[in-house]
Structure 1
Amino acid sequence: MKQILELREKRAKAWESAKKFLDEKRGDDGCLNTEDTAAYEKMEADVMNLGKEIERLERQAAIDLELSKPTSTPITNKPNGNPSGEEKTGRAGMEYRREFWNAMRKKNYYDVNNALQIGTDSEGGYLVPDEFEQTLVQGLEEENVFRTLATIIQTSSGDRKIPVVATKGEASWVDEEGQIPESDDSFGQVSIAAYKVATMIKVSDELLNDSVFNMEAYISNEFSRRIGAKEEEAFLVGDGKGKPTGIFNSVGGASEGVTTATVSITFDDVMDLFYSVKSPYRKKSTFVMNDSTVKALRKLKDNNGTYIWQPSVQAGQPDTVLNRPVVTSAYAPAITTGGKVIAFGDFKYYWIADRQGRSFKRLNELFAATGQVGFLGSQKVDGKLILPEAVKVLVMKAANGT
């Protein structure tokens, strides 16, 4: 923690030095010469590298904290009894958990039939135990930054209808004893489906037979990494065809807040985007953009000459633009003419629907010739912005000037 704080202070000082250098070296035309430009870009790269190192140390601290948790809980029940709580059953039971992992490790493990029959899905795999499913969800949240912003719901069927207020009624001034006009709310529906995302993991026979190899942790981490990355891409730029609908998608995504007047982003553009979101949503809003877009925003100043991007100096707190948090993703669109490049709003109105039950299936014969065993991991999920007015996007000016 001390090292993280020191790096944050170092990054803040480096950024202040870079801003001071930029102000001092600007010519009468507001630009830098070639030599000064190279020097400034190096200073800016140092700031970004410090930020990445801080993120790595924070992830390392989080992993250390997770691994330091006790692997077992003390026995508090009396012998031959369970007076302090109900015994877990079904997929939450210890028997199911034990038989599930035995089935994953061993090729012909017939003793699992009775214990696992409650966890057999329609496609022939086994639904993962409850505790392991929670591990997968936690892993997805670590891999998928968008899950920390959105609202996550659980569904047990394919589709779910979400009622949404389309228009709101209004009050009216009326004369004494005058008739009060009717003004009802109108309601619409947003349908969230369940799209399948899957991955295949191969493990050698030697590793499966090695008692030291933690297969549960390995499969959990790989599943989280692969599925989490594919999910985040869909939540941001998905077209809704066989996958979730992304925030930046032209149909079903966030509505346009502002279009830039030039081919570059200015302070006025960011300010217009900020106020294009209604105040109730703006209070809880977050900026989402690509790293390359952050680089462009770092050079912008407000009307008082203050840089609008401010680095975080406190552990666990994000960088800010106009005092609102900034979240970056490699899957957010980079700056292109005519493209949507920044999303700003309350992303709690983007709903992610996890269909209950993630399935694993062991493939014994497919990779037998190479001495490997395959594991299929899949889940069903959808994501959709249910209230378009809660999130707005900044659109770059098109090349033809329109």
Structure 2
Amino acid sequence: MNKILELRGRRNTLWEQTKAFLEEHRGENGLVASDAVEQYDRMAQEVKDLGTEIERLEQQAQVDAQLAAPTSRPVSGKPMIMTEERAATKTGTKEYTEAFWNMIRNRGNYGEVHNALSVGEDSEGGFTVPDEFERKLVEALEGNNIFRGMATVIRTSSGTRKIPIAEDTGEASWIDEGEEIPESDTTFGQTMLSAYKLGTMIKISNELLNDSAFDLASYIARRFGVRMGNAEERAFITGDGVGKPLGLLDDAGAKIGVTAAKTTAISFDEVFQLYYALKAPYRKKAEFLCSEALVLQLMTIKDNNGNYIWKPGLDIGKPDTLLNRPLKTSAFMPEVAAGNKVMAFGDYSYYWIADRQNRTFRRLNELYARTDQVGFLTTQRVDGKLILPEAVQVLRMKAGA
């Protein structure tokens, strides 16, 4: 914790020095002297790198706290009496969990292990992961996918989920005493969330599998979390809806709020216009989203009063801000180039992610036997869609000639 506070202090001090350096080398025409641009870029990059390191340390602290938390709850009822919740979750039992990890490590009697896992066997020969490990996998996914933390995540046991959408709210009318009140019904539409399949595979040596000191669950969660999280976030932002979720930036997703006047640079007026292109009710929880490359450009922009619109987060857990709203970055937001949608601003809770329970594992014994390794394959079914397009506005660069 002290390290995080120290880095935040260093970052804030460096940012103030960077702003001062910029002003010292700004000419009468308002432009920065060419011989100072390279030095400024280095200073600005260091500010950004410190921010990345702070985020990494905060994520580590969060994971440490989660792993240190109790893994079970104290018994509060009579022994041998299962609550409705526990009875309904067959994959949450101690027997199932032990059998699952015995299967992963290839231990125990095959018949006994297979029988214990039969309640979680899927149609393709894999096994549903235990409930506790499911939560760890979800935490790993969220740690490598910032978009999950901003969106609304729902769980569904069916392949398709219908979501009713109110397309208008109707209206009230002023009437004279004794007059009939006119009808004004709300019109409803619906959107569909499916269950697209996402999968990946890793190899683990038999030496590691047989090492009881090796934290296999955490290792698998981290490896799969990075791969699945990256694939999810790319789809949630830029997916075309063909075999994958429909991304935020698809033409059927967020609305174009502003088109920049240039192909590779944006101005304060355009960021300001994007802010007010979003309706006021959505601005209460709205956040900016862009690439890290664009952040370096945003750091140089001032408002009409000469104040920088980008400000570093000073408190632990607080993000950087733009126009006093949180600013998040993603490696999957498009680069600043002609015609690209480079920045989004909105309430991302209207992007719904549907997880079809549960994720499944399969052990592949023979595929890598020649190298004394075992393959593990995991799959999940997930979909995502912005169910209310007006809740997010985007800034698009001017199209090229």
TM range (shorter): over 0.9
Specify the SS of the correspondent of 2:19: helix
TM-aligned CA deviation for residue 380 of structure 1? 0.3
Q: Which residues in structure 2 correspond to 1:227-266 (within 5 Å)?
A: 227-250=228-251, 252-263=252-263, 264-266=265-267
- The answer as to whether partners of 1:341 and 1:393 remain within 8 angstroms in 2 is yes
Aligned sequence identity (%)? 54
CA distance in 1, matches of 2:348, 2:80: 44
In structure 2, give the amino acid aligned to 1:7: L
CA distance in 2, matches of 1:2, 1:208: 37
Specify the SS of the correspondent of 1:163: strand
Q: Given the alignment of the two structures, is residue 7 of structure 1 paired with residue 7 of structure 2, yes or no?
A: yes
Specify the SS of the correspondent of 2:395: strand
Aligned to 1:33: 33
Aligned to 1:149: 150
Q: Which moved more, 1:9-18 or 1:66-75?
A: 66-75
CA distance in 2, matches of 1:44, 1:362: 47
Q: Which residues in structure 2 correspond to 1:265-304 (within 5 Å)?
A: 265-304=266-305
Q: Any idea what the Cα deviations from partners look like across 1:107-129, whole Å, max 9, x if unmatched?
A: 77221232111111111111111
Aligned to 1:199: 200
CA distance in 1, matches of 2:147, 2:350: 12
TM-aligned CA deviation for residue 88 of structure 1? 4.2
Aligned to 1:322: 323
Aligned to 2:43: 43
Aligned to 1:363: 364
CA distance in 2, matches of 1:211, 1:68: 19
Question: 1:100 and 1:152, CA in 2 relative to 1: closer, same or farther beyond 3 A?
Answer: same
Question: 1:76 and 1:313, CA in 2 relative to 1: closer, same or farther beyond 3 A?
Answer: same
- The answer as to whether partners of 1:88 and 1:94 remain within 8 angstroms in 2 is no
Question: 1:280 and 1:75, CA in 2 relative to 1: closer, same or farther beyond 3 A?
Answer: closer
Q: Which moved more, 1:89-98 or 1:324-333?
A: 89-98
Aligned to 2:65: 65
Q: Any idea what the Cα deviations from partners look like across 1:26-66, whole Å, max 9, x if unmatched?
A: 11222222221122112212211221221232233223333
Q: Which moved more, 1:175-184 or 1:205-214?
A: 175-184
In structure 2, give the amino acid aligned to 1:222: R
TM-aligned CA deviation for residue 306 of structure 1? 0.4
TM-aligned CA deviation for residue 86 of structure 1? 7.9
- The answer as to whether partners of 1:286 and 1:324 remain within 8 angstroms in 2 is yes
In structure 2, give the amino acid aligned to 1:258: V
CA distance in 1, matches of 2:353, 2:139: 15
TM-aligned CA deviation for residue 148 of structure 1? 0.5
CA distance in 2, matches of 1:76, 1:84: 11
Specify the SS of the correspondent of 1:373: strand
- The answer as to whether partners of 2:45 and 2:296 remain within 8 angstroms in 1 is no
CA distance in 2, matches of 1:141, 1:340: 24
Q: Which moved more, 1:40-49 or 1:140-149?
A: 40-49
Specify the SS of the correspondent of 1:162: strand
Specify the SS of the correspondent of 2:219: helix
Question: 1:337 and 1:360, CA in 2 relative to 1: closer, same or farther beyond 3 A?
Answer: same
Question: 1:127 and 1:84, CA in 2 relative to 1: closer, same or farther beyond 3 A?
Answer: closer
CA distance in 1, matches of 2:367, 2:215: 23
Question: 1:129 and 1:175, CA in 2 relative to 1: closer, same or farther beyond 3 A?
Answer: same
- The answer as to whether partners of 1:102 and 1:109 remain within 8 angstroms in 2 is no
CA distance in 1, matches of 2:68, 2:194: 38
Aligned to 2:164: 163
Specify the SS of the correspondent of 1:146: helix
TM-aligned CA deviation for residue 182 of structure 1? 2.0
Q: Which moved more, 1:165-174 or 1:193-202?
A: 165-174
Q: Given the alignment of the two structures, is residue 21 of structure 1 paired with residue 21 of structure 2, yes or no?
A: yes
In structure 1, give the amino acid aligned to 2:133: F
The CA RMSD measured in Å over matched residues stands at 2.0
- The answer as to whether partners of 1:163 and 1:188 remain within 8 angstroms in 2 is yes
Q: Given the alignment of the two structures, is residue 121 of structure 1 paired with residue 122 of structure 2, yes or no?
A: yes
TM-aligned CA deviation for residue 212 of structure 1? 2.1
Specify the SS of the correspondent of 2:358: coil
CA distance in 2, matches of 1:150, 1:232: 11
Specify the SS of the correspondent of 1:171: coil
Please, what TM-score do these two structures have when normalized by structure 1?
0.94
Q: Any idea what the Cα deviations from partners look like across 1:252-280, whole Å, max 9, x if unmatched?
A: 22111111123320101001100111111
CA distance in 1, matches of 2:77, 2:170: 58
In structure 1, give the amino acid aligned to 2:392: V
Q: Which residues in structure 2 correspond to 1:378-397 (within 5 Å)?
A: 378-397=379-398
Please, what TM-score do these two structures have when normalized by structure 2?
0.94
Structure 1 unaligned blocks of 5 or more? none
TM-aligned CA deviation for residue 168 of structure 1? 2.0
CA distance in 1, matches of 2:213, 2:305: 61
CA distance in 2, matches of 1:285, 1:72: 36
Specify the SS of the correspondent of 1:243: coil
CA distance in 2, matches of 1:83, 1:371: 45
Q: Any idea what the Cα deviations from partners look like across 1:71-105, whole Å, max 9, x if unmatched?
A: 67778889xx4579789451111001001111111
CA distance in 2, matches of 1:208, 1:195: 31
Aligned to 2:309: 308
